[in-house]
């Protein structure tokens, strides 16, 4: 059995007195697609931000296997509003060691504007496309997605999942939070259910559908 690519060890987070995520153990292995589901406020975004390293845990830790690159697509824009989409990608590309051809390819693949207008003027859908393109710049082995398709049109959703499949087929993994049960059925081979900041289930989709699907968002 191979070692996990990414693992949470007793990972938890509080914001003052409010518990956002209770101590959680979770592992993600090569080739896996893990769906995080649960009602609003369940802790999905907090867990993803902790796994991405953008949020410090109140307890526990995250371990990443040697050489594994992690890409993160948060719900909110994760780029500089004063820079154009190309300028954002070029900046993050330099940080990730990506060449300029990767920038041009991602601009084209996600249909992003190539003019010099600032990213703050983009539509909600284009801002999300830019988020995704930035996450893919470094050719991540593990892709963390926080409701990534909520503002995408059908064509862009298809392109996103094609990229996700390529990451998995190359021996990587994906963890995605979603409120879309169709995405769980189509794209997840394991499901984790969170409620009130606690992980209450992690297992195969068939067991999730039998035990949780009808009331998980109640």
Taking the whole predicted model, whether its pTM rises above 0.85 is answered as: yes
The string of pLDDT tens digits covering residues 109-141 is 998 988 888 999 999 989 999 999 999 998 999
**Residue (of 20, 13, 33, 15) closest to 145 by Cα position:** 33
- State yes or no: pLDDT of 218 exceeds 60: no
Q: Is residue 153 in some structural domain?
A: no
- 195 in any annotated domain: yes
For 207, the domain range is: 1-68+175-218
Determine the pLDDT at residue 213: 64
* pLDDT score for 51: 98
Give a yes or no: residue 128 inside a domain: no
Number of folded domains in the chain?
1
Tokens of 44: 């999905």
Q: Is residue 11 part of a domain?
A: yes
73 domain-assigned: no
- Residue 42 carries which DSSP code? S
pLDDT in tens, 157-206: 999 999 999 999 999 999 999 988 889 999 999 999 999 999 999 999 98
Token couple for 70: 């992690």
Is there a domain that residue 170 lies in? no
Tell me how far apart the alpha carbons of residues 98 and 105 are, in angstroms, rounded to a whole number. Answer: 11
In a domain, 22, yes or no: yes
Cα angle, residue 206 at apex, residues 200 and 207 outer, rounded to 5°: 35
CATH number at residue 217: 3.40.50.300
**pLDDT (tens digit, 9 = 90+) per residue, 32-91?**
999 999 998 999 999 999 999 999 999 999 999 999 999 999 988 889 999 999 999 999
Domain-located, residue 13: yes
């Amino acid at each position: 059995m191979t070692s996990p690519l990414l693992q949470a060890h007793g990972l938890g987070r509080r914001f003052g007195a409010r518990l956002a995520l209770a101590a959680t153990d979770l592992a993600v292995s090569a080739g896996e697609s893990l769906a995080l589901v649960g009602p609003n406020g369940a802790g999905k975004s907090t867990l993803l931000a902790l796994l991405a390293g953008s949020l410090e845990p109140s307890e526990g830790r995250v371990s990443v296997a040697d050489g594994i690159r992690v890409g993160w697509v948060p719900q909110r824009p994760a780029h500089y509003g004063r820079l154009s989409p190309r300028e954002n990608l070029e900046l993050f590309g330099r940080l990730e060691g990506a060449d300029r051809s990767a920038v041009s390819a991602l601009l084209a693949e996600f249909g992003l504007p190539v003019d010099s207008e600032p990213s703050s003027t983009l539509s909600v859908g284009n801002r999300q496309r830019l988020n995704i393109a930035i996450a893919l710049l470094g050719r991540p082995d593990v892709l963390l997605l926080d409701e990534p398709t909520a503002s995408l049109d059908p064509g862009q959703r298809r392109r996103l999942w094609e990229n996700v499949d390529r990451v998995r087929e190359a021996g990587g993994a994906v963890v995605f939070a979603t409120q879309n049960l169709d995405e769980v059925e189509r794209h997840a081979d394991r499901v984790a259910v969170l409620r009130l900041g606690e992980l209450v289930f992690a297992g195969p989709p068939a067991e999730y559908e039998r035990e949780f699907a009808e009331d998980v968002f109640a």
